[in-house]
Structure 1
C-alpha cells in the first residue's frame, strides 16, 4: 500500500495583525502624549544634591511672571495664607513644597515662606532640578 505524501510547507507567522496592533499602539501613544503637558513652563534652579521627598499634597508654585499657585489653583497673594490654612486642615499635612522659577524675586520667596509659616506649616522644602556636572 502506497501512501500519498503531501508537500508540507514550513510554518510561518502572519504579521499583518501584528502590524495593525503596533500601529494602533503608536497612534494611541502619540495622541495621549500631546495631552501630558506641564501646567506652567518653569526653569527650576539647579543644585548638586537632590533628596528624594516623600509625596506631599501641598505644593506652592510661583511662575516667572510672579503668579502664585497652590497645587493647580491660582491664588492671589493676599489670599495665600487662607488657602494654605484651608488645605492643610483638609489634608491633615503641614509640609509645603515650594516650586519657583529660577527668575523669581527673592523677596517673593521669603514672603511666601513667611506666609506658609503663619498658616501653620511645619515643614518647608524647595524643589529644584539636579545640576549636571
Structure 2
C-alpha cells in the first residue's frame, strides 16, 4: 500500500495569530480606559450693555435677607409661610396683576426663599417679575 504525502502549502502568511493579538489589545484598552463623566456645567452667561430699567414707583418690591426673612414694600414679614407671603402680596396689589414685582435678595439668601417668593407671585398671577443684581465691576 502506497500512501500519498500531503503537500504543505507555503503560499501565504497565516493571519490568525495577528488577529488574536489585535483583539487582545482591543480588549485590554477597552478595559483599562476610564470614562469620565463631567458633572460640572459649562455655562457662558449672556451679557448686556444698556441702561438699567427705570424703577416704577408702583412696583411691588420683595427684599430677602441672608437668613431668608422677607420684607415687602418696607413691611417686615420675617420667615413667612407661602400663605402669609401670598396674603401680604395680595393686600398690596389688590386685583392689579400687571404690577411689576422686583425681588432683591442677598447673595447668601437660601435659594428656596427666592423660589418661594417667585412662586407666590406666580400663584397670584403676577407676570412681570425681575430680580435685581449688582454690576460685576462695582461688586467689590
Q: Give the TM-score, by structure 1 length.
A: 0.56
Deviation at 1:120, TM superposition (A): 2.2
- Is contact 1:62–1:104 with CA below 8 Å preserved after alignment? yes
Residue matched to 1:104: 109
Within-5 A mapping of 1:116-127: 116-127=121-132
Unmatched 5+ stretches in structure 1: 1-46
Residue matched to 2:39: none
Higher helix fraction (1 or 2)? 1
Q: Deviations over 1:55-79 (max 9, x none)?
A: 1431000011211000110125221
Within-5 A mapping of 1:37-76: 49=48, 51-55=52-56, 56-75=58-77, 76=79
Look up the SS of the partner of 1:129 in the other structure.
coil
Root mean square deviation of aligned Cα: 2.5
Deviation at 1:129, TM superposition (A): 1.1
Give the 4+ runs in structure 1 shifted more than 6 A. none
Higher relative contact order (CA 8 A, sep 6+): 1
Instruction: Please identify the structure whose Cα radius of gyration is greater.
Output: 2
Q: Give the TM-score, by structure 2 length.
A: 0.54
Aligned residues: 87
Residue matched to 1:129: 134
Taking a change above 3 Å as real, the CA distance of residues 120 and 90 of structure 1, as seen in their structure-2 partners, is: closer
- Is contact 2:66–2:110 with CA below 8 Å preserved after alignment? no
